[in-house]
Amino acid sequence: MGQGHGWEGAVLKLLRGKDFAFTVTEAEDVTPRYRRLRLTDGGMLAATGVHPTMWVRLWFDDAGRPHQRAYTLVDPDPAAGTFSLEFALHDGRASDWARAARPGDTIEATVHGSAFTEPSPAPSHVFAVADTASLPALNSLLDSVGTAPATIWFETDHGTGGLPLRAAPSRHDVREVPRRDQGAHLVSEIKSTLPDLLKDQPAPYVWIACDTTTTRSLTSYVRKELSLPRQRVNAMGYWRAA
Band (238; pLDDT cuts 50, 70, 90): confident
* Class for the domain spanning 6-111: mainly beta
**pLDDT tens digits, residue range 169-187?**
999 999 999 999 989 999 9
pLDDT band at 150 (very low <50, low <70, confident <90, very high): very high
Alpha-carbon gap, residue 133 to 44, rounded angstroms: 23
Largest CA distance in the chain: 55
190-224 pLDDT, tens digit each:
999 999 999 999 999 999 999 999 999 999 999 99
pLDDT number for residue 182: 87
| Cα–Cα distance, 73 to 92 (Å, whole number) | 20
What is the distance between the alpha carbons of residues 196 and 190, in angstroms, rounded to a whole number?
Answer: 10
Q: The pTM is what?
A: 0.90
SS3 142: helix
Q: Which amino acid, 187?
A: V
Domain with CATH 3.40.50.80 in the chain: 125-235
Selected from 3.40.50.80, 3.40.50.720, 2.60.40.10, 3.60.15.10, the CATH number assigned to the domain covering 125-235 reads: 3.40.50.80
Question: What residues does CATH 2.40.30.10 cover in the chain?
Answer: 6-111
Question: Cα(89)–Cα(34) distance, rounded to whole angstroms?
Answer: 6
For residue 80, the one-letter residue type is A
